[in-house]
A and B are shown apart, each in its own frame.
Chain A
Amino acid sequence: SQKIEQNSEALNIQEGKTATLTCNYTNYSPAYLQWYRQDPGRGPVFLLLIRENEKEKRKERLKVTFDTTLKQSLFHITASQPADSATYLCALDGYSSASKIIFGSGTRLSIRP
């Protein structure tokens, strides 16, 4: 069955460093991969989408890579700040309009001052 794996343990990073989160998937060939941020008690907020034919995408301090051979996406936050502390979810979507978005369980990121 389709499976998404994200770092189950929390990631603790010193402020100013680059945080790197990993999303691995199996038994799936997604057309798109998305990253969302979720704060406690809030719904997920969309951050970035990368398509299967894109290797890398950037938005301000965020960078996402997508390796369809390794079946992996890396999510980087450069110059991390305490305000970046949250849970980050990756999600996969297929080609057709009937395909469902599948979410990973998320990685909790803490940026310490």
Chain B
Amino acid sequence: SAVISQKPSRDICQRGTSLTIQCQVDSQVTMMFWYRQQPGQSLTLIATANQGSEATYESGFVIDKFPISRPNLTFSTLTVSNMSPEDSSIYLCSVEATGTDTDTQYFGPGTRLTVL
């Protein structure tokens, strides 16, 4: 299994500012995923981050709004730029499990973001 940590665990931010969320994994992984989970909603994939290449964004998400870095195989950051109250959500990073159940995912604890 993989152990994933995220920083910060929560934050309250002002409209128009940006927040960078960090995700650290205790083992090297090829792909890292960033999700958003709004209250009462399912997890929505924002982007997939591969080391050494640009992140792949899902429909409805753009790099200018959610820039992602992946400097090495154990770390990634997601920035929520020019925030508005609609960005209030839980942001989760995850990695794919390796081994027999390769299609399962391990998730970080999430970052709860509130934008005022």
A46 touches B106 (CB 8 A): yes
A101 touches B41 (CB 8 A): no
- Within the complex, the shortest CB–CB distance from B96 to chain A, in Å, comes to 9
- Within the complex, the shortest CB–CB distance from A69 to chain B, in Å, comes to 22
Interface centre among B42, B94, B101 (most CB of A within 10 A): B42
B104 touches A46 (CB 8 A): yes
- Within the complex, the shortest CB–CB distance from A79 to chain B, in Å, comes to 25
- Within the complex, the shortest CB–CB distance from A103 to chain B, in Å, comes to 4
Given the complex of chains A and B, what is the CA–CA distance between A101 and B103 in angstroms?
8
B: number of interface residues (CB 8 Å): 20
Verify if A113 is at the interface (C-beta below 8 Å from B).
no
Interface of chain B: mostly helix, strand, loop or mixed: loop
* CB closest residue in chain A, given B45: A100
Q: Which residues of A contact B109 (CB under 8 A)?
A: 41-43
Given the complex of chains A and B, what is the CA–CA distance between A103 and B41 in angstroms?
10
Q: Which residues of B contact A104 (CB under 8 A)?
A: 42
Given the complex of chains A and B, what is the CA–CA distance between A98 and B104 in angstroms?
14
Verify if B107 is at the interface (C-beta below 8 Å from A).
yes
Instruction: Contacts A41-B110, A41-B112 given; indicate if A46 touches B42 (C-beta within 8 A).
Output: no
Verify if B43 is at the interface (C-beta below 8 Å from A).
yes
A105 touches B42 (CB 8 A): yes
* CB closest residue in chain A, given B1: A46
Contact for A46 among B58, B92, B97, CB less than 8 A:
B97
9 additional contacts, CB 8 Å, given A43-B4, A43-B107?
A34-B104, A42-B109, A46-B101, A46-B104, A46-B105, A49-B101, A89-B42, A101-B105, A104-B42
Supply 11 A–B pairs (Cβ within 8 Å), ascending by A: A4-B42, A32-B103, A42-B110, A43-B109, A46-B105, A49-B103, A93-B103, A100-B58, A101-B103, A103-B43, A106-B42
